[in-house]
Structure 1
Amino acid sequence: MKLRGRLKNMDYIELIPSLSHCIETVAKEKYWSAVNKFMEGKQEDKELQQRIELLKAFLESTDFGKLRRESEKHLIQGEKVKFIIYWKENKPSYDMVATEGGILNSEH
C-alpha cells in the first residue's frame, strides 16, 4: 500500500475490526490500552503520547456509523479489513484496506 511507504511506523496506527468488534470498539480498546501503559510508565514516552493523542482525536471526530457500514460490507463477505489512521493537515484521517483474495484494496 502506498501509504505505508510514506509513513513511518510511529506516524500511523492500524486498527483491525471484526464482526464481533466494530472499528469504534477496537479504537477505544487501543486508546485505553495506550493510556494504561502510559500511566504505568516511569519515564516520559513521546511516541506513546502521540498515539494517545491520535486515537483520542480519531474517537472524538469520526463518524463511526459510516465506518461500520464501510467495513461490515467487507467483513460479511469474509474479507479482512484494516483501518490505518494518521494525521493529515492536523486532523485525524484514515484509509480503509480490505483484503480480498490476498489483494489489498484501499478506500476512503
Structure 2
Amino acid sequence: MRGYTTMAIRIVLTPTVSHCIETVAKREYWKNVNNYLKKRKEDKRLEGKIELLRSFLETADFANLRRKSEEHILHGKQVKFIVSIKNKKLLYEMIVEKSKQKINKKKIL
C-alpha cells in the first residue's frame, strides 16, 4: 500500500445471495472512485479507501472467499468482510452473524 499506510481505514463489505464478495468489492471500489472524481478536490480519506480496495481486489483469493462465505449465506446467515490495513499490511477477515431469515436453496437441474 503506497502512501496511505498511516491512515486508519476500515471497510465493511457485505456479500449477499445475489452479489458475491468480489462483486461487492468492485462496486464499492467504483463508488468511491466516482465520489472522488465528483469532488474535484483532494480527499485523502477517499484516496485511502480506493487504494485499500484496489489492493484487496488485486490480491484476494476470491474463489476461496466465495466458497467460504456462500455456504453461510445460503444458510441464512449474514456475512461481512472487514478489510483494513495495519502496519503496512492488508488485512481482511470474515465475520458470520446469525440471521432469523432462512434462504431457500433452489436445485437447478
Shorter chain as denominator, the TM-score bin is 0.7 to 0.9
What does 1:1-108 align with in structure 2 at a 5 Å threshold?
A: 11-100=9-98
Q: Which has the higher strand share?
A: 1
Identity, % of aligned positions: 47
- Aligned AA for 1:63? D
The number of residue pairs the alignment matches comes to: 93
In structure 1, how many angstroms separate the alpha carbons of the residues matched to 2:82 and 2:30? Answer: 18
Aligned-residue RMSD, C-alpha: 1.4
**1:30 corresponds to which letter in structure 2?**
E
Bigger proportion of residues as helix: 1
d(CA) in 1 for partners of 2:99 and 2:30?
33
- SS in structure 1 at match of 2:47: helix
TM-score normalised to structure 2 length = 0.80
Contact 2:12 2:81 in 1 (8 A): yes
Give the unaligned 5+ runs of structure 1: 1-9, 103-108
Whole-angstrom CA distance in 1 between matches of 2:76 and 2:99: 10
Which has the higher Rg, Structure 1 or Structure 2? 2
Equivalent residues of 2:78, 2:99 under 8 A apart: no
TM-score by structure 1 length?
0.81
Which has the higher mean CA deviation after the structures are superposed, 19-28 or 92-101?
92-101
Task: Read off the aligned partner of 1:16 and give its amino acid letter.
Answer: T
